[in-house]
Chain A
Amino acid sequence: MIKQLKTIFGLFALLILCNGCFPQKPQLKNVLRLSCEDEPHTLDPRQARDLATATGIHLFYEGLMRAQGGEKPELALAESYEISPDQKTYTFKLRNSSWSNGEPVTAQDFEETWKSVLNPSYTAPNAYQLYVIKNAQQAKEGKVAIDQVGIRAPDEKTLVVELENPTPYFTQMLASHFYYPACKALRSHVSTDPLDKKLISTNGPYLLDSWERNELVAKPSPHYWDRSSVKLDQIQFIVSDNSTAFQLYEQKELDWAGSPLAILPIDALQSLKKEGVLHVKPSAGVHLFRVNTEKAPFTDAKMRRAFAYALNRKDLVEHVLQGNQTPATRIVPSSVLPGPVGFKDHDLIKARKLFKTYLQDNNMKAEDLPTITILYPNGERQHKIAQVVQQQWKEAFGIETQLQAVETKVFFSQMKSHDYQLAIGSWYADFLDPISFLEIFKYKDNGTNNTQWENSAFIALLNASAIANPIKRKEILLAAENVLMRDMPVIPLFFNSYNYLKRPDVEGVYFSELGYLDFKKAAIK
């Protein structure tokens, strides 16, 4: 029997040695390595939903414009463009460029991609991003033929787009991945496999080199029209958990750690700040409580405002989140919409007064209040926020609230069916305009509203903001936000910030406030 055991062990030992037989990749010098929590889900621009995928799209594709951090996006495939006097028609002249299979990029590529998204039989979760275009929504809903949509390609290098209304942020939208073109093979549903290099072609600064075993590798594309701007030899995306990624960075095996594709461990932030190596960047995202306006005691705006005023956001941001986030006493960040709106943080006097008034109005004592439950999806951060907020409301009003953590998808399900009173959530803008923050609360039915709140004045103001005059427009939007803050169907908590670590010799990476990374001009000194 010993002999048999010895042979078995010998065989196993052989198997282990074979573990060492995975080929080692040759090390290149000009390589940028990042970690991400999750790999891109697709390389079809029309299907991108999350930040990792968006980063991938910006890496492998090129649109009419590209945001690189200036006030306006830079011209990319559009060599020039003209806007009609009524601000509703844009005419683009495309430059000469080609796909990775050698075929030229034409205006038809854009026309057909966008029309395919608006086709009623194509399931495109991002289709609504194109609704600023004339007849786009009607075509998607099948009310109008697709050729009625305001997109025309009179010749190979000219693209004409008609909008529903003057839309000052349209060029910004063109720089987002929602408006990037997909190659013919994707449009005709031939293949969705991103590694099928024979069929799928891309037109961006980088090409997909390999994508296996938790690692995505990109190399510069020789077909890119602006090849000289691309400086790196390789970009590696490594899927890893956050603590491990941090250790890899410390061990110098990564050049970038943390946001936007991953998260730095909260417990590390204090010492990183002390060392002065932490990079902080404001994000166009607000974390908030959704309040179910049809469940007692939050049916009354007084209670909602009371709970909002009672929170100490400064403490929350400084001690719990520790990432230099900004306390939020309004929904839209001031950088996006400057102006007087919002309330004072930790205003206990006002909060308690409103609380008392509510009790008096309803002839109640604090003990008679129904149980208030704070619902949140499980996660380290939400866990901490919930516990601190629970304590803060206890100090303010002397009442006990219950915490309820649930699995993430169960959370979404409960929100959708309005089975909650207070729910922790967040919203990240699709583009840097106040309307991207405000319109999610426009209708009760909106997929991201879920508060059962709707207000006709709010709707009217949002509709009225579809004008060209930027000053007047901002006034209207401020008024709308004030309506929202008066009714408080959502309690703002903080504006998120991106915390990341980056090697000092890495430069040229454009980190969009919208949360994706753009590597076109990235370089290592």
Chain B
Amino acid sequence: MLIYLAKKLFYLGCSLFAIATLTFFLMKAIPGDPFAEEQAMRKDMHEALLKHHGMDLPWFVQYQNYLTRLLKGDLGHSLKYHGKSVNQIIASGFPVSASLGIEAFMIALSGGLFLGILAAYKKGGWQDHLALCVMLLGVSIPSFIIASGLQYLFALKFSVFPIARWGTLSHTILPALSLAALPMAFIAKMTRASLLEVLNTDYIKTAKAKGLPARTVLLRHALPNALLPVVSYLGQLLAAILVGSFVIEKIFSIPGLGQWLVNSVSNRDYPTIMGLTLFYSVILMVIVFLVDIAYGFLDPRIKVKNDE
């Protein structure tokens, strides 16, 4: 077991190194620099700024410098927002994005499972058709349209929820719903499809024939197997949702991390881009690792480890 964990950590380290390197060179390869603007400053000033931040050095030197600082734990400071260190940015933005993400995740998971199970159980009935309608809408309407629509209807027209910003529980409802719509539809669809297949298999028919109540058959025998494809998706979903959705945060003025990553690319705010990308990859890898373990629990037949 310990060797397994050590191997995983090794792969994690390699991946992070690869991500850092790729991101760094991608950043430097695209045109533009943090200080270029419409009301351009004089050439000598611009060059002085670049020199001050070490950007006139050859890429490899800059890369080495960055890695050295990184290994010491220094993620650097934002180039655009003086006085804000990348650590500060993460510390203030992540809790917000994460709590919104977890809320949306829960809504998507519970809503999706419920809809999917219901649709599969009552296949062909009105519940199935209704659920399918909801699923279709969730998948075909992008989150920003749902968000704006909800905001317009429930915040502006009927002031049930606040329009934007962050602070109380009611501030979280609309953004979480908007964020959860697509994943919920997907989970529902996946659960339904997968469950329908499992319900047709022999051992389920055997269980039914044995006289077990339908509910038990559904939940204890069929569901765990049907959930596997859903679980594959969940890991990626959770990671993406935790770091924040740029669009939702923008529409609801939520001070999370999502906006930071996109804006830092537009601003060519190199330290922030690197810091946030690395942070995100750590989260993704940890979650994917947990998901792989979850596979083993859901179906002991699945062997993710290599066995000879």
Interface assignment of A172: CB less than 8 Å from any CB of chain B: no
Give Cα A248–Cα B152 distance, bound, in whole angstroms.
Answer: 11
Judge whether A42 and B83 touch: CB under 8 Å: yes
Interface assignment of A505: CB less than 8 Å from any CB of chain B: no
Q: For residues 235 through 265 of chain A, which have their beta carbon under 8 Å from a beta carbon of chain B?
A: 238-241, 243-244, 247-248, 250-251, 253
Flag the segment in A404-412, A459-467, A477-485 that touches B: A404-412
Interface assignment of A270: CB less than 8 Å from any CB of chain B: no
Judge whether B36 and A123 touch: CB under 8 Å: no
Judge whether A248 and B163 touch: CB under 8 Å: yes
Judge whether A414 and B219 touch: CB under 8 Å: no
With A49-B37, A244-B252, A448-B40 as given contacts, are A412 and B32 in contact (CB-CB < 8 Å)?
A: yes
**Which chain A residues lie closer than 8 Å to B148 at the CB level?**
243
With A44-B82, A214-B253, A409-B32 as given contacts, are A244 and B172 in contact (CB-CB < 8 Å)?
A: no
Among A15, A124, A248, A428, contact of B102 (Cβ-Cβ < 8 Å)? A15
With A123-B48, A251-B159, A447-B41 as given contacts, are A193 and B253 in contact (CB-CB < 8 Å)?
A: no
**Which chain B residues lie closer than 8 Å to A128 at the CB level?**
41-42, 45
Interface assignment of B268: CB less than 8 Å from any CB of chain A: yes
Give Cα A20–Cα B37 distance, bound, in whole angstroms.
Answer: 40
Among A43, A141, A244, A427, contact of B251 (Cβ-Cβ < 8 Å)? A244
Give Cα A47–Cα B79 distance, bound, in whole angstroms.
Answer: 12
With A247-B152, A410-B31 as given contacts, are A16 and B103 in contact (CB-CB < 8 Å)?
A: yes
Judge whether A123 and B52 touch: CB under 8 Å: yes
**Which chain B residues lie closer than 8 Å to A20 at the CB level?**
168-169
Judge whether A416 and B36 touch: CB under 8 Å: yes
Specify the chain B residue showing the minimal Cβ separation from A140.
B44
Question: Digit string of B51-64 for contact with A (CB within 8 Å is 1, else 0)?
Answer: 11000000000000
Interface size of B in residues (CB-CB distance below 8 Å): 57
Q: For residues 125 through 178 of chain A, which have their beta carbon under 8 Å from a beta carbon of chain B?
A: 125-128, 141
**Which chain B residues lie closer than 8 Å to A408 at the CB level?**
32, 266
Interface assignment of A365: CB less than 8 Å from any CB of chain B: no
Interface assignment of B30: CB less than 8 Å from any CB of chain A: yes
With A41-B81, A123-B48, A123-B49 as given contacts, are A22 and B168 in contact (CB-CB < 8 Å)?
A: yes
Interface assignment of A508: CB less than 8 Å from any CB of chain B: no
**Which chain B residues lie closer than 8 Å to A190 at the CB level?**
none
- Nearest-CB distance from B306 to chain A (Å)? 28
Specify the chain B residue showing the minimal Cβ separation from A377.
B38
Specify the chain B residue showing the minimal Cβ separation from A445.
B43
Give Cα A447–Cα B38 distance, bound, in whole angstroms.
Answer: 10
- Nearest-CB distance from B267 to chain A (Å)? 8
Q: What number of A-B contacts does a CB cutoff of 8 Å give? A: 155
Question: Digit string of B133-165 for contact with A (CB within 8 Å is 1, else 0)?
Answer: 000000000000000100110011001000111
Among B31, B40, B220, B253, contact of A239 (Cβ-Cβ < 8 Å)? B253
Question: Digit string of B241-280 for contact with A (CB within 8 Å is 1, else 0)?
Answer: 0000000001111110000000000111000000000000
**Which chain A residues lie closer than 8 Å to B172 at the CB level?**
16, 19
Judge whether B82 and A213 touch: CB under 8 Å: no
Among B33, B48, B49, B81, contact of A409 (Cβ-Cβ < 8 Å)? B33
Among A9, A191, A250, contact of B110 (Cβ-Cβ < 8 Å)? A9
Judge whether A16 and B169 touch: CB under 8 Å: yes
Judge whether B167 and A247 touch: CB under 8 Å: no
Q: For residues 164 through 181 of chain B, which have their beta carbon under 8 Å from a beta carbon of chain A?
A: 164-169, 172
Give Cα A98–Cα B92 distance, bound, in whole angstroms.
Answer: 33
Give Cα A416–Cα B46 distance, bound, in whole angstroms.
Answer: 12
Specify the chain A residue showing the minimal Cβ separation from B107.
A16
Interface assignment of A471: CB less than 8 Å from any CB of chain B: no
Among B31, B39, B80, B106, contact of A41 (Cβ-Cβ < 8 Å)? B80
Give Cα A9–Cα B114 distance, bound, in whole angstroms.
Answer: 14
Judge whether A241 and B99 touch: CB under 8 Å: no
Interface assignment of A425: CB less than 8 Å from any CB of chain B: yes
Give Cα A191–Cα B166 distance, bound, in whole angstroms.
Answer: 30
Judge whether A19 and B37 touch: CB under 8 Å: no
With A1-B224, A9-B106 as given contacts, are A241 and B45 in contact (CB-CB < 8 Å)?
A: no
Judge whether B103 and A244 touch: CB under 8 Å: no
- Nearest-CB distance from A354 to chain B (Å)? 30
**Which chain B residues lie closer than 8 Å to A39 at the CB level?**
81
Among B40, B49, B151, contact of A247 (Cβ-Cβ < 8 Å)? B151
- Nearest-CB distance from A185 to chain B (Å)? 12
Give Cα A42–Cα B172 distance, bound, in whole angstroms.
Answer: 30
Interface hub of B83, B172, B219 (most chain A Cβ within 10 A): B83
With A12-B106, A213-B255 as given contacts, are A412 and B82 in contact (CB-CB < 8 Å)?
A: no
Give Cα A12–Cα B163 distance, bound, in whole angstroms.
Answer: 25
**Which chain A residues lie closer than 8 Å to B110 at the CB level?**
9
Q: For residues 3 through 33 of chain B, which have their beta carbon under 8 Å from a beta carbon of chain A?
A: 30-33
Judge whether B103 and A19 touch: CB under 8 Å: yes
Give the 8 A-B CB pairs with smallest separation, nearest first. A409-B32, A413-B31, A20-B169, A447-B40, A213-B255, A42-B82, A214-B255, A412-B36
Add 7 more A-B contacts to A19-B99, A19-B169, A125-B35 (CB < 8 A): A16-B103, A17-B169, A20-B169, A22-B166, A244-B251, A409-B266, A446-B42
- 14 inter-chain pairs at a CB distance below 8 angstroms, sorted by A residue, are A1-B220, A16-B169, A50-B37, A123-B49, A125-B49, A238-B165, A239-B253, A243-B251, A244-B164, A244-B253, A248-B163, A250-B156, A412-B37, A416-B36
